[in-house]
Every structure is written in C-alpha cells, then in structure tokens.
Structure 1
C-alpha cells in the first residue's frame, strides 16, 4: 500500500524540487549565502547543499524562513505560488527558472 501511495502522490517536497525555491528566495532578497545562512540558523555549507538539492530542508529552518521573510511553507515545500507575496512572484519564477541544481 505504501508503494502505491508513493507512486500516486507527487513528491514536490523532494530536496531537488525545494532547492530552486530556496535559491530564488535568497536571490530575490539580494542576500549573500553567508547572511541568509546566519539569518535562518544554518551554516553556509549546509545552505549550499540545500540550494543544490543534495540535502533536505529541515522543517524548523523552513519555519524560520517563513517567519523572517513572509514566505509560506506551501511555497517552500509544495511550490504553491499563492503562498508567496504577490509582488515577489515574477522575480521568484524567473530565478527558479534560471536555477540549476547540478554543479
């Protein structure tokens, strides 16, 4: 049953799919990795892994991003654009489109 459910539910919260969203948020804010990492309570190397999709985003870190910058968890984990400030959407979409998870 687990395999069937997993095959039917799209994994939009997979690290590779979350990566461009986190990258786009940081870039939209104009923050260097070090400053963003400090603000959300992770080290720079961990942020790099999150932005590359090679590490997952802990829910506590996502909650800090949400609280600090007004970005909803549905955007971070599911890609729901309705959970972003309206004026951010064009910039975020453009930044996500240009993001590459591969080195």
Structure 2
C-alpha cells in the first residue's frame, strides 16, 4: 500500500483495520455482552447509562451493535460492577464476577435466542 497515496483505497483500508481490531471486539459482539451485563445487574437502560455516565441513546446504539463502546466507559463498567475489560471486549467469561456467571450465561443465551 502506498503510504503517500492521495486517494485512499477504502476496501484495502477496511481489511487492514479488520486485521488490527479483533472480531471479538466489534460493536456487534460487544453490544450483547453489555446488554447481558445490564440484565444480570437488573438495571434499566436509563439506570445503567446514568451510572456509567453515558448518554441513554448512545447506550441503545451500543447494545444494538451500531456503535462501539468507548474504552473509558468499559473501564467505568469494570470499576462499578466488576465485569472486566476482557469480558466486555473479548467475551472472556473468566473476567466476570464468579457469582454472576451462571445468570450471565442464561442472559446471553436468551439474547441469541431472540436474535
């Protein structure tokens, strides 16, 4: 790829970005994890958005997989609720509080059943 090219090759750039950003951290994958965490915590969207200091409409877009979750908000979720960044961005269940794992697995299964 010519670094000095004035006309970007969008298709090529997209492939490069996709290779740098793991598929697990894509908005489509992060969204259901956030929804599952919120469900396990038994919080409304409004309560969760307010707690992590995120605009409510943005939370809706994040949960739908239409928008990525800013790392600062991921850190806020980790600090407040114990759902680690490896869970949020990589789907690693070992980064979820032990007492919440069974309930979270059921919540995630129910989300995939309705999708």
Q: TM-score range by the shorter chain?
A: 0.7 to 0.9
Which structure is richer in relative contact order (CA contacts within 8 A, separation 6 or more)? 1
TM-score of the two chains, using structure 2 as the length reference: 0.78
1:47 counterpart residue number? 59
Residue in structure 2 matched with residue 14 of structure 1 by the alignment? 26
Query: Runs of at least 4 residues of structure 1 off by over 6 A?
Result: none
The correspondence for 1:67, drawn from 73, 79, 85, is: 79
For 1:36-77, what per-residue CA distance to the aligned partner results, in whole angstroms no more than 9, with x for missing partners?
Answer: 100001111100000000000000000000000011100000
Q: Measure, in 2, the Cα distance between the counterparts of 1:73 and 1:65.
A: 9
Size of the aligned set, in residue pairs, is 101
Is 2:71 the counterpart of 1:93?
no
Q: Which moved more, 1:76-85 or 1:88-97?
A: 88-97
TM-score, normalised relative to structure 1: 0.87
1:56 partnered with 2:68: yes
- Which has the greater radius of gyration? 2
- Match 1:27 to one of 15, 32, 39: 39
User: Unpaired runs of 5+ in structure 1?
Assistant: none
Structure 2 residue 97 is matched with structure 1 residue 80: no
Q: Report the aligned-residue RMSD.
A: 2.4
- Distance in 2 (CA, whole Å) between partners of 1:93 and 1:45 is 26
